Amino acid sequence: MIDLHCHLLPGIDDGPADVATALEQARAHVEAGIDTVVCTPHVSHNHANTSAGIAEAVAAFQAALDGAQIPLAVKAGAEVSLSRAIEMDDDELTALHLGGSPYLLLEPPLGSEVPRLAQLVKGLASRGHKILVAHPERCAAFHRDDKLLAELVKDGAIVQLTAGSLAGDFGRTVQKLALSMASQGLVHVVASDAHDPTRRPPGLAAPMATAKLEGLTAWACQDVPAAVLAGQPLPERPAGATPKTKRRLFGR
Ligand SMILES: [Fe+2]
């Protein structure tokens, strides 16, 4: 499987603090069945990472992985905050795309209100960036406005949920919204957004199974991520893989 959203580079953001911890996290990725990770450190007003710095860190960490004989491929990417993305030039923004693909992993704010969020996202798309929206189920704007995500998808964005959200790691409210987004067919990618080996660990198939979405795992964690990285049209969502009724999702 391919993990499109993950904090794995040591000492570059709020992910693993040092190489030893990052290697431990990498081993956990491999144990969870992941062979490729796109490293997506924060690029925001709090984390001033650049495409050049990230590329250098990825090359150094791949060498560390190879040296430790951990069978994991790492690629460069970034999780760019919306407020930072709208003020960056297109060359740097393009250099921050996921693995050199046409896609930008865009992080809406978790808590604060953003006026005209849909228009801002549309503006970025009109500048030639395909938008992958990072974990909307954790962002306040999508809790307040249940039509916002459908509007972004209609405008051409695709959507990444965090696996732990589906399994309830961020609480019941986030889990319910994540499952609702999946049941509405508004989700294209599920990624770990892992930050360390234990507190926010790697894992895709297990949380998907917990959420009874195992029928969607290959599509959302392998086939769509592969198409994203290749810049190819997305494969069709498998029929019947998403629970349709609220009773099956939320009953018990
Ligand atoms: Fe993240």
User: 247 C-alpha vs ligand 1 centroid, how far in Å?
Assistant: 31
CA 226 to chain centre: 13
Cβ neighbour number for residue 210 with a 10 Å cutoff: 17
Tell me, what's the pLDDT at 243?
A: 61
User: 54 C-alpha vs ligand 1 centroid, how far in Å?
Assistant: 15
| Cα-based torsion angle of the residue sequence 98, 104, 226, 211 in order, rounded to the nearest 10 degrees | 110
Tell me, what's the pLDDT at 115?
A: 82
User: 78 C-alpha vs ligand 1 centroid, how far in Å?
Assistant: 9
Tell me, what's the pLDDT at 242?
A: 67
User: 105 C-alpha vs ligand 1 centroid, how far in Å?
Assistant: 9
Tell me, what's the pLDDT at 156?
A: 96
Residues of the chain with pLDDT under 70: 242-252
User: 70 C-alpha vs ligand 1 centroid, how far in Å?
Assistant: 23
Contact 110, 139 (CB under 8 A): yes
| Cα-based torsion angle of the residue sequence 218, 73, 12, 170 in order, rounded to the nearest 10 degrees | 20
> Distance between CA atoms of 218 and 229, rounded to whole angstroms?
15
Please state the φ and ψ torsions of residue 176, each to the nearest 5 degrees: -65, -40
User: 162 C-alpha vs ligand 1 centroid, how far in Å?
Assistant: 9
Contact 129, 156 (CB under 8 A): no
Tell me, what's the pLDDT at 249?
A: 44
Could you give the count of Cα atoms lying within 13 Å of 138 in the half-sphere of its Cβ?
Answer: 20
User: 40 C-alpha vs ligand 1 centroid, how far in Å?
Assistant: 7
Q: Sheet of 36-39: strands edge to edge?
A: 2-6, 36-39, 73-76
Condensed to tens digits (0 to 9), the pLDDT of residues 151-170 reads 999 999 999 999 999 999 99
Domain ranges of the chain: 2-250
User: 251 C-alpha vs ligand 1 centroid, how far in Å?
Assistant: 30
| Cα-based torsion angle of the residue sequence 196, 79, 133, 126 in order, rounded to the nearest 10 degrees | -170
User: 211 C-alpha vs ligand 1 centroid, how far in Å?
Assistant: 21
CATH placement of domain 2-250: 3.20.20.140
Condensed to tens digits (0 to 9), the pLDDT of residues 50-94 reads 999 999 999 999 999 999 999 999 999 999 999 999 999 999 999
Which one-letter DSSP state was computed for residue 198? S
b/e for 30-65, b at 16 or more Cβ within 10 A? eebbbebbbbbbbbbeeeebebeebeebbeebbebb
